[in-house]
Chain A
Amino acid sequence: MASLKRSVESDPLAANISNKIYVRSTKSGKVQKIVREVYLRQDIPCSSKLCQRCFTTAPRDASGKLIPFVLSDSPAGTKVFPQGHYLVPDTNAFLTAMDLFEQESAFYDVIVLQIVLEELRNRSLPLYNRLLSLTKSEDKRFYVFFNEFRLETHVPRLDGETVNDRNDRAVRKAVEWYGEHLARSKGKGKDVPAIVMLSNDRDNLKKAKQEGVNACSLADYVKTLKDGEKLLDMIPETQDSDQIKEKRPGDNLYPEYFSMSKMMTGVKNNLLHQGIFNVSPYNYLEGSIRVPAFPKALLILGRENINRAVDGDLVVVEVLPKDQWKEPSTQVIEEDAITKNENPDAEESDDFVSEKERKALQEEVKRTQSKTTEGHAQPTAKVVGVIKRNWRQYVGHIDQSSVSQSANQGKKQDSVFVIPMDKKIPKIRLRTRQVSELLGKRILVTIDAWDRSSRHPSGHFVRSLGELETKAAETEALLLEYDVQYRPFPKTVLDCLPKEGHDWKVPQNLEDPGWKDRQDLRDLLICSIDPIGCQDIDDALHSRPLPNGNFEVGVHIADVSHFVRPGNAMDAEASIRGTTVYLVDKRIDMLPMLLGTDLCSLKPYVERYAFSVIWEMTPSADIVGSRFTKSVIKSREAFSYEQAQLRVDDSSQQDELTTNIRILLDLSKKLKQKRLDAGALSLSSPEVKVQMESETSDPIDVKTKVHLDTMSLVEEFMLLANTSVARRIHEAFPQTAILRRHGAPPKTNFDDLANQLKVKRGLDLSVESSRALADSLDRCVDEKEPFFNTLVRIMATRCMMSAEYFCSGTQSYPEFRHYGLASEIYTHFTSPIRRYADLMAHRQLAAAIEYEAVHPSTRSRGKLEAVCKNINVRHRNAQLAGRASIAYYVGQALRGKATEEDGFVMKIFSNGFVVLVPKFGIESLIRLRDLAETEPQAEFDAENYVLTTGGSRELRVELFQKVRVRVTDQKDETTGKRGVKMELVRTY
């Protein structure tokens, strides 16, 4: 019997093979031991341009290409290392101060070790991705050195050594090897740069010193840099907290989080619930969380129950006993008003729940208990742990009152509060040495940690955007806050544009490949109708009578998919941007200007590629047939809505183009009626337009938008085109069509509004179907007050779900429904210049009509789902950013003016009420204390929505009431935004 045993030594390769052994636990709680082979090698280059040896053995890829060497031959130096240095940060350095490494002023020639990259990936995926993009940027010169695979730097774990200690040792070993290697293999007459390890681990630094390896802590290193003072602020403070003191357990203000396994078991057994934590916009001490187990959201009240959760975090909650159930607050509580005088330095001295917070809570309890109806109390919960933080960078400004006098002078590090622009985010404690410079500026900060012992989260400074209230700073703040990608397009993207640039033309030769399968529609009388000044013209229309008495109607959409090929850099960039963002004075494009406003744009008088949807319709707007084709068109005219309207209304105009528009208008009215009959909702939101002075582009006036017939003309045909395309692509790709749905809102969403209408006006709101809702909204009228109907529509709109893109395989067919449009199936097809979803729909339609082959990325479901998820978020952010921009400019337009306007009460609290002024489309809170010098006494009847005040000012305010308010501008101290301030003049 032959023995299978063999000694390790007999294998010539044994020295080069090692194993990586680790233990991991799966989601289901199983523990697995994984053994992986590691092949050690000596041909991994050091990638320094100084090195003359590595170059000969450097690896090549399958096509024989070499990866260029990264590290500079004359790296920057500091006072301590005048000969220049390469940096080798450890994992902790990246974890705590990634912002530093992204600086442009320093941190070049960095060696990222494989072990560090691995650890970083396990600890934080976003940071890992940021580091990867740094290694890809050419000018930062970050090199990933695979130390675990290089024979000399591979470090086996010793007996009894912890993983962390081994990894630290691996980092030191790599630093040591680099030093020796460069000394041996550099060219003659050149200095060897120092290899410097950056670490915050004192133990590691000590050992490095013993082994003679250059090492410093991040802070020490940054101090030696030129603008070190500033950069120092970007190192989070928490890292040195371990040196300051060990906090006694008694100091902890917040309850401890459960362990991960305890939470997981709890969630599995349905004892705990997992969901996304949302903060109420009116009360920073009240949050809510939707969990799958209950139809209604759970309330989370008070600092202690919120337990360090920040808006957007994925948390686990425990339901509180019934005696602690409460009603949602009817009071407005703003953080700044209550915690105004807190001292950022003296954390521990005062009680955890401050006196004022306590008082606010007391009143709450009193009110709840005085209630006769107990049924109103809602289940409450408390946060017991955070699964995933959703922290990002926040824009804010330093709270003036938190700055101590001494801070204004010295360069001493000082603690201040930063008030984020987003009211839902708590104040952030920041330690900085440049308080005096940062006061009155918009700044970008991140949250680093929130300890149990500290009332507010602590963070660090990232960069300054500029003075408060300057246009540049505010716009950038807005874009950052809504995560809009506003950087210029990188070169790789611009390289994808047609080489001819603006001279690109539709080829004259019909044999050209561009003409393949394209229909020549240049002789049709096509025109486009858009808002004034529109440059990116997505759509154009035509109609003509057919001999059989029917009409041919065509919608022609810019053929963006011809220029943006799937999978290239431009496509990738567009899919990340997701949508064009329109601000009052600025447009952040999804596609480069050349395409958006020229080559794709269906400009008049020139030939353009288009994707056409052509129907045959009866005079009563029934569709007889439809077809889709790629085409070449020549638009005859680009009208604005107003021009088109004038032309239609002017009966002396009898040319063919105008008659065609009249046909379209006629058909569109019939289409609209059909849609309304099917139960489409006509919702409303206050829309205004800011008028700018043409030269200085300063806002001068605010106008509400006027609705014209020609607008709904365009809208109807776009809806029709979208629906037709949706049907076609769903037919061709039942699993992967990209569609848009609008879920029916849960009935509970309308509970409040229905109750309010019933109590105040005796009106019934039926929400069984969109049709019923549309009808009951039509009945909500007040003869004396025409705006009442619009007001109700605005409030109803806020009860709706938001529409979303999805991939058809993820939902069953009945779920495809678009509630608002009352359409069975819907997609976005008509604006490919400004929406990525439309571009995807174009590609799918092109494949469906067999114009081109299906590209893998448009049929891989996983990929499509990821795209949908991203564009849903981007779409929402773009809307929010647009609205915020209007709000900012409305504030600016009203600057220094005071006008009296009519408004309507749309929300009422026990200590204030919200008034909407339709003329400016703004709403604002009027607090009781704003009504008179001394805050009047108030009686709040929550069941009838009436607030009666007495004492210093006697008033009776109720819901839906028309009031007269004085509108002035005011700088909001909390958010640093200039906004409107309303004062109540009188009630009607």
Chain B
Amino acid sequence: MPLDTSTYGLALLRVDGRRWNELRRIHAQIRTQAAADGSSYLEMGHTKVMCVVTGPSEPGPRRGAAGGAAGGGGGAGGQSKDAEVVVNIVIAGFSSVDRKRRGRGDKRTLEMQSTLANTLAATLHTHLFPHSQINISLHVLSQDGSLLAALINAATLACVDAGIPMTDYVTACTAGSTSTYAANDEGADPLLDLNHQEEQELPGLTVATLGDSDRVVALVCESRVQISRLEGMLAVGVDGCKQVREILDQVIKAQGQKMILEGTVDKGTGLNDMDLD
């Protein structure tokens, strides 16, 4: 069994050999499901998720009362002038080590669904699609920390693939701190992109920003941490989001390039400024 997070101070190395400001390997693909309106597959280290977007489309028949039983609804209901964003997350039983089955009503899943729906509803131009619904299904295949961040990134990619107009990329990552709350270590370093072990042992937060800017669109912190450390963690997190944006941007551009070369789309006017070399 490997060492725990307390050995960071010995050589400034984290449990998996990274430095404090390094992201894990991110691998992403879009248009993985040809039949869907938009789809993506994303890995951040060993956290693997896939996303399928359907819509904007006419809302299906509602079950039960308003508000929707299926996951968190962002934006307004199907009758209003904005499109409703419906997020559904399925966490596969085999995704974590202890094979725990999470049911539909799992509180943590519900909370992630509503965070995601609210974040996306604020960024997607839902006012362009009145009386309609955007369905985002996310499947978690493997978990190794920073789950919410991976889900946000995958959803962004899938929305781009589906061609839904949006303000900018929403990219997310996690940030933590090298010592526990109780240790109360003044000189604790901030950490970027926590894996599962670090998430278990150390305080951390998830932050999502809009595009290249410093505008924070989602911030979730569920652990106890000294206020003095928060600023450093947030700065590192926002910086991480920018790095993630670069990576996602490359993925989108590479896909676009491929599509033009294959002739799937015309090299339209809007794509003039896209580098083809």
Does A567 belong to the interface (CB within 8 Å)?
A: yes
Does A149 belong to the interface (CB within 8 Å)?
A: yes
Does B18 belong to the interface (CB within 8 Å)?
A: yes
Contact B144 A37 (CB under 8 A): yes
Contact A61 B12 (CB under 8 A): yes
Contact A20 B2 (CB under 8 A): yes
Known A1-B34, A860-B181: A118·B3 in contact at CB below 8 Å: yes
Contact A36 B16 (CB under 8 A): yes
Does B81 belong to the interface (CB within 8 Å)?
A: no
Contact A32 B182 (CB under 8 A): no
Contact A4 B29 (CB under 8 A): yes
Contact A144 B11 (CB under 8 A): yes
Dominant SS among interface residues on chain B:
loop
Known A2-B34, A37-B16, A860-B181: A63·B187 in contact at CB below 8 Å: yes
Does A627 belong to the interface (CB within 8 Å)?
A: no
CA distance A62 to B232 in the complex (A): 9
Does B31 belong to the interface (CB within 8 Å)?
A: yes
Known A135-B10, A856-B226: A34·B97 in contact at CB below 8 Å: yes
Contact B3 A117 (CB under 8 A): yes
Contact A35 B182 (CB under 8 A): no
Contact A24 B144 (CB under 8 A): no
B29's partner among A2, A13, A22 (CB-CB below 8 A) is A2
| Chain B positions 1-40 with a Cβ under 8 Å from a chain A Cβ | 1-3, 7, 10-13, 15-22, 24-25, 27, 29, 31-34
CA distance A144 to B27 in the complex (A): 32
CA distance A566 to B45 in the complex (A): 39
Does B184 belong to the interface (CB within 8 Å)?
A: yes
Contact B16 A114 (CB under 8 A): no
Contact A11 B27 (CB under 8 A): yes
The interface-forming segment of A39-47, A808-816, A819-827, A837-845 is A39-47
B26 and chain A: residue at smallest CB distance: A13
Give the most central of B16, B21, B22, B144: most A CB within 10 Å.
Answer: B16
A144's partner among B10, B18, B31, B224 (CB-CB below 8 A) is B10
**Which of chain B's residues have a CB closer than 8 A to the CB of A148?**
17
**Which of chain A's residues have a CB closer than 8 A to the CB of B156?**
none
CA distance A135 to B3 in the complex (A): 15
**Which of chain A's residues have a CB closer than 8 A to the CB of B16?**
36-39
Does B46 belong to the interface (CB within 8 Å)?
A: yes
Known A38-B17, A117-B3: A2·B31 in contact at CB below 8 Å: yes
Q: How far is the CB of B234 from chain A (nearest CB, A)?
A: 13
**Which of chain B's residues have a CB closer than 8 A to the CB of A63?**
187, 189
Does B222 belong to the interface (CB within 8 Å)?
A: no
CA distance A371 to B2 in the complex (A): 60
Interface size class of A (residues with CB under 8 A): 35 or more
CA distance A39 to B236 in the complex (A): 20
Q: How far is the CB of A22 from chain B (nearest CB, A)?
A: 7
B11's partner among A22, A38, A67 (CB-CB below 8 A) is A67
Known A63-B187, A857-B182: A121·B3 in contact at CB below 8 Å: yes
CA distance A61 to B189 in the complex (A): 7
Does B277 belong to the interface (CB within 8 Å)?
A: no
Chain B 168-190: CB-based contact to A (< 8 A → 1; otherwise 0): 00000000000001101001011
Give the most central of A39, A59, A60, A118: most B CB within 10 Å.
Answer: A39
B19 and chain A: residue at smallest CB distance: A59
CA distance A39 to B45 in the complex (A): 10
**Which of chain A's residues have a CB closer than 8 A to the CB of B195?**
36-37
Known A61-B20, A67-B11: A13·B25 in contact at CB below 8 Å: yes
Does B98 belong to the interface (CB within 8 Å)?
A: yes
Contact A4 B32 (CB under 8 A): yes
B189's partner among A17, A62, A144 (CB-CB below 8 A) is A62
CA distance A215 to B170 in the complex (A): 56
A2's partner among B18, B32, B45, B97 (CB-CB below 8 A) is B32
| Chain A positions 269-318 with a Cβ under 8 Å from a chain B Cβ | none
Chain A 3-42: CB-based contact to B (< 8 A → 1; otherwise 0): 0101000010100010010101000001011111111110
Contact A146 B182 (CB under 8 A): no
Contact A39 B18 (CB under 8 A): yes
Q: How far is the CB of B185 from chain A (nearest CB, A)?
A: 8
Q: How far is the CB of A822 from chain B (nearest CB, A)?
A: 36
Contact B1 A122 (CB under 8 A): yes
Does A862 belong to the interface (CB within 8 Å)?
A: yes
A32 and chain B: residue at smallest CB distance: B97
Q: How far is the CB of B184 from chain A (nearest CB, A)?
A: 5
Q: How far is the CB of A1 from chain B (nearest CB, A)?
A: 5
Does A779 belong to the interface (CB within 8 Å)?
A: no
Q: How far is the CB of B246 from chain A (nearest CB, A)?
A: 15
Known A122-B1, A146-B11: A40·B27 in contact at CB below 8 Å: no
Does A411 belong to the interface (CB within 8 Å)?
A: no
| Chain B positions 139-184 with a Cβ under 8 Å from a chain A Cβ | 144, 181-182, 184
**Which of chain A's residues have a CB closer than 8 A to the CB of B11?**
44, 59, 67, 144-146
CA distance A566 to B12 in the complex (A): 26
CA distance A121 to B1 in the complex (A): 9
**Which of chain A's residues have a CB closer than 8 A to the CB of B98?**
30, 32
CA distance A63 to B7 in the complex (A): 18
**Which of chain B's residues have a CB closer than 8 A to the CB of A118?**
1-3
**Which of chain A's residues have a CB closer than 8 A to the CB of B236?**
62
**Which of chain A's residues have a CB closer than 8 A to the CB of B12?**
59-61, 67
CA distance A59 to B195 in the complex (A): 21
**Which of chain A's residues have a CB closer than 8 A to the CB of B13?**
44, 59, 146, 149
**Which of chain A's residues have a CB closer than 8 A to the CB of B46?**
35-37
Give the most central of B19, B31, B187: most A CB within 10 Å.
Answer: B19
Contact A36 B32 (CB under 8 A): no
CA distance A360 to B195 in the complex (A): 63
Contact A856 B184 (CB under 8 A): yes
Q: How far is the CB of B276 from chain A (nearest CB, A)?
A: 21
CA distance A428 to B34 in the complex (A): 76
Chain B 200-217: CB-based contact to A (< 8 A → 1; otherwise 0): 000000000000000000
A22's partner among B1, B3, B20 (CB-CB below 8 A) is B1
Q: How far is the CB of A15 from chain B (nearest CB, A)?
A: 12
Q: How far is the CB of B178 from chain A (nearest CB, A)?
A: 9
CA distance A404 to B14 in the complex (A): 55
CA distance A904 to B24 in the complex (A): 76
B255 and chain A: residue at smallest CB distance: A2
CA distance A122 to B1 in the complex (A): 7
Does A863 belong to the interface (CB within 8 Å)?
A: yes
**Which of chain B's residues have a CB closer than 8 A to the CB of A857?**
182, 184
B182's partner among A59, A60, A863 (CB-CB below 8 A) is A863
B32 and chain A: residue at smallest CB distance: A2
Chain A 51-64: CB-based contact to B (< 8 A → 1; otherwise 0): 00000000111110
CA distance A863 to B32 in the complex (A): 49
**Which of chain A's residues have a CB closer than 8 A to the CB of B29?**
2, 4
Give the most central of B2, B17, B21, B31: most A CB within 10 Å.
Answer: B17
CA distance A236 to B248 in the complex (A): 59
A567 and chain B: residue at smallest CB distance: B184
Contact B34 A37 (CB under 8 A): no
Known A67-B11, A67-B12: A62·B190 in contact at CB below 8 Å: yes
Known A13-B25, A44-B11: A4·B41 in contact at CB below 8 Å: yes
CA distance A860 to B182 in the complex (A): 7
Q: How far is the CB of A988 from chain B (nearest CB, A)?
A: 62
**Which of chain B's residues have a CB closer than 8 A to the CB of A17?**
25
**Which of chain B's residues have a CB closer than 8 A to the CB of A35?**
46
B181's partner among A1, A11, A856 (CB-CB below 8 A) is A856
Residues of A near any B CB (own CB < 8 A): 1-2, 4, 6, 11, 13, 17, 20, 22, 24, 30, 32-41, 44, 59-63, 67, 114, 117-118, 121-122, 135, 144-146, 148-149, 566-567, 855-857, 860, 862-863
Given A36-B46, A38-B16, 7 new contacts (CB under 8 A): A2-B32, A2-B33, A37-B46, A39-B16, A39-B25, A59-B13, A114-B3
Please list 6 pairs of residues, one from A and one from B, whose beta carbons are closer than 8 Å in the complex, sorted by A's number. A37-B24, A39-B18, A121-B1, A122-B1, A566-B184, A862-B182
User: 6 smallest A-B Cβ distances: which pairs?
Assistant: A149-B17, A39-B17, A62-B189, A860-B182, A144-B10, A59-B12
